[in-house]
A and B are shown apart, each in its own frame.
Chain A
Amino acid sequence: MDELNWKELEQIPIPEGLEERLEKKIDEWEESEKLKVKSEKSKNPHTSHLLPLTSYLKITGIAASIVLVFGLGFYFLNQPETVNLAEQDTYHDPAVAQLEAERALNLLAANLNKGMGQLEKAKAISERTEQTLNKQLNIMK
């Protein structure tokens, strides 16, 4: 069936100059397409430099980070010096500071000693009780 059709088609005579006319038409279309693109470019010259959206996001992110770092740095460097009483040394004389520090440490040591002293007392009582108990047990033996 196909062979028959091809044969029939081959038998149809091709009009004279059809090939030239078709080529001419294709060239015309190509030319008009080029002109169309050119006119669009002249209307919007920036469109030719368009970057993909992801590149814009990256650039925006980096720019935002830089602005954030410099902004924070600038903000903190230009802060007026606030006086925080708690962060300042109460004493400016090391000798006075030493006296106060030692007083505090001695107070801590004294209280620890007080507690440890009671522990020693309890230990001594416990040892004495143990000794008495052992003595009595030995007598009973």
Chain B
Amino acid sequence: MRQIVFKTIFVLAVAMMSLQANAQVKEFEKYADIKNVTYVFISKYMLRLAGKASAPSVPGVNTQSIMNKLTGIQIITSEEKTAAARLKADTQTFVKAGKYELLMQVDDDEDKVRIYHREGKQQSAVVMLSDDAGEVSVIVFSGTFTLEDVMKMTE
């Protein structure tokens, strides 16, 4: 009897988790409601529509190869000192806790860029943290891509 009850609860929990599964990295969703922070989310549906719309715009960069594998893009930016510092700290804590690997670090004068990557069976993510003279921006690319797909963009 207990087994039946546990099985029922387990099935329900799995069903609910799958309903809650999202294309976004949840940790950054709170920034949608925070003052002095701009939060942009582009869903996979919009990306699919966009992918059909036209050809790539920058020569030498092939974004189409990864565009079809993305399930969402989150862009969070802030110029305000306190909010920007919080965003930067939160991102660093997030990548550390999520066991993201540092893919690249570029320090160019006041422009500091960190690119982190994590490959998962169900979802991969690339997090780009950029601090350009106090203006912090975080771009999170979620999808079912591999590290090779990311590097293919630069070829």
Contact = CB atoms under 8 A, between A and B. Distances in A.
| A and B are partners in one complex rather than unrelated chains | yes
Interface of A: 57-58, 61-62, 64-65, 68-69, 72, 84-91, 94-95, 97-98, 100-102, 104-116, 118
15 contacts: A65-B4, A69-B12, A86-B24, A88-B41, A89-B43, A90-B41, A94-B53, A97-B49, A98-B51, A100-B73, A101-B42, A101-B63, A109-B58, A112-B115, A115-B104
Interface SS, A side = helix
A85 B70 CA distance: 20
Given A61-B1, A107-B128, A95 B29 contact: no
Contact of B154 (A64, A72, A89, A116): A116
A101 B45 CA distance: 12
A109 B43 contact: no
Interface residues of B, number: 53
Task: Tell me whether chain B's interface is mostly helix, strand or loop, or mixed.
Answer: mixed
B38 to A, nearest CB: 9
B72 to A, nearest CB: 10
Contacts, number: 134
Interface of B: 1-2, 4-5, 8-9, 12, 22, 24, 28-33, 39-43, 45-47, 49-51, 53-54, 56-58, 61, 63, 66-67, 70, 73, 75, 104-106, 108, 113, 115, 126, 128, 130, 139, 141, 150-151, 153-154
B4 A90 contact: no
A104 B70 CA distance: 12
B141 A102 contact: no
Contact of A85 (B32, B58, B150): B32
Given A69-B8, A109-B153, A85 B39 contact: yes
